[in-house]
Amino acid sequence: MPLLLYGLIVAGWTVEAVAIGAWHLLPLIAWTVPVFVLYIRRMIGRRRGA
């Protein structure tokens, strides 16, 4: 029983750590995605010979 309780606590800590990490990374992701999309569009345009 204590082993199961310990597992639940560790799982809870892991989920919380991932959630906090993702929350702090949200601004970085939100800034990176549009730049990445624009870069892909530019590369596709160059491949078409534009």
pLDDT in the model for residue 50: 58
The pLDDT of 6-14, averaged and rounded, is 92
CA angle 7, 8, 12 (to 5 degrees): 120
Q: Each residue of 17-50: pLDDT tens digit?
A: 989 988 888 888 888 999 999 999 999 888 887 5
pLDDT at residue 46 in the model: 87
- Under the banding of pLDDT at 50, 70 and 90, the label for residue 13 is very high
